[in-house]
Structure 1
Amino acid sequence: MKKEKHELFEWLKVIALTAVFVIGIRTFIFSPIIVDGASMMPTYEDGDRIIVNKIGKTMTDLERFDIVVFKAPDERNFIKRIIGLPGDHIEYKNDELYVNGEKLEEPYLSQNKSALNGFGDLTGDFTLEQLTDHSKIPEDYYLVLGDNRLKSSDSRDSRVGLVAKDQIIGKANIRIYPFDELGWVK
């Protein structure tokens, strides 16, 4: 009887430690989410399942073109691409990105741009000053845009605006479903 109680206690300890370990990983390191909506198409499709690397934003700096998940003002999780970093001046003109006056390529937009067949721009013209009261992005803030620019609530929307670093949950660069697209995403 004593041996059975000891064995039961050992199993309970293993189960409790496993639960603490799983909760710790989900809370502090990785978290699965489901993409909801078309704002990141074709990079991420509605219903894709991805892993958010929470530790990535603390171990390394957030960089231009990183895909991140952040807490939107309405408490939903949004997934977008970082376009502007702290200290940057951002401008779009003639469907081209200019950062601090230098034109940058956005190869991840080529599929969406070609789908327009020359009828209009994917990203309408704007300057940072038109979106905010700033000529440069403030410290610890980021300008984020969806890859599907025609169907994205992002920093161009006053309800979203610039995203504070502490709103960012983590980087989203691992797709786990659909299985035929499993792997790293850029």
Structure 2
Amino acid sequence: MAKEIWEWGKAIIIAIILAFFIRSFIFATSIVEGASMYPTLENGERVVFNKAIYFVSEPDRGDIVIIQKPTKNYVKRVIGLPNDVIEVKNHSLYINGEKQTQTYLDEDAIQSTSDFEPITVPEGQYFVMGDNRSISKDSRNGLGLIKENEIIGRSELIIYPFNEFSLTR
């Protein structure tokens, strides 16, 4: 009996340590607050994000990332990489002078993207925007350019509500 209790105890301790390791260094969850990523992500959805991915690679254009700021975390889409020149003219996004096709946006979101002058993204920083361009606080209007160390992971899937379970990539 004592041996069985010891075996169960070891299994539970190993499971707790493994769960802590996974939660701390590999995957975590975040709750989407607000409508800035609509229609891709909706207010109240819970997403799993990959914390380890950017140890082995850099954020890529189009990644949905979790940004850690002192007061709260934000979920945004990477638009501009270091040294990119970002501009919106006539509601169209241009990166390094090339017009971009944003298949993740509907026509209303594209038309609500306000024009802005070219911005060169400095080394070690990223330009992010929400998919709901008319209301998103992002690199254009208050969030500013995002430092590489502020990006704590890439969104991988929606896990709640259960009927919305899907990949976010």
TM-score, with length taken from structure 1: 0.84
- 1:24 is matched with 21
TM-aligned CA distance change 1:73 to 1:165, over 3 Å: same
Q: Unaligned stretches of 5+ in structure 1? A: 115-120, 130-135
| Greater strand share, structure number | 2
Distance 1:46 1:111 in 2: 21
Q: Give the paired residue count.
A: 169
Distance 1:165 1:96 in 2: 26
TM-aligned CA distance change 1:128 to 1:5, over 3 Å: farther
Cα displacement (A) at 1:96: 0.4
Distance 1:185 1:6 in 2: 46
1:67-78 equivalence runs, <5 A? 67-74=64-71, 76-78=72-74
From 7, 11, 35, the equivalent of 1:10 is: 7
Distance 2:5 2:23 in 1: 27
RMSD: 1.6
TM-score, with length taken from structure 2: 0.92
From 108, 118, 126, the equivalent of 2:116 is: 126
1:57-136 equivalence runs, <5 A? 57-74=54-71, 76-113=72-109, 121-129=111-119, 136=120
Cα displacement (A) at 1:36: 1.0
* Superimposed CA distance per residue, residues 146-172 of structure 1 (whole angstroms, 9 cap, x where no aligned partner): 0011111111123x2111111111101
SS at match of 1:150: coil
The answer as to 2:150 corresponding to 1:167 is: yes
Distance 2:154 2:118 in 1: 24
- Residue 124 of structure 2 aligns with an amino acid whose one-letter code is D
Considering only CA atoms, is the larger Rg found in Structure 1 or Structure 2?
1
* Superimposed CA distance per residue, residues 99-136 of structure 1 (whole angstroms, 9 cap, x where no aligned partner): 1111111121125338xxxxxx411111244xxxxxx2
- Residue 123 of structure 1 aligns with an amino acid whose one-letter code is T
SS at match of 2:106: helix
Cα displacement (A) at 1:34: 1.3
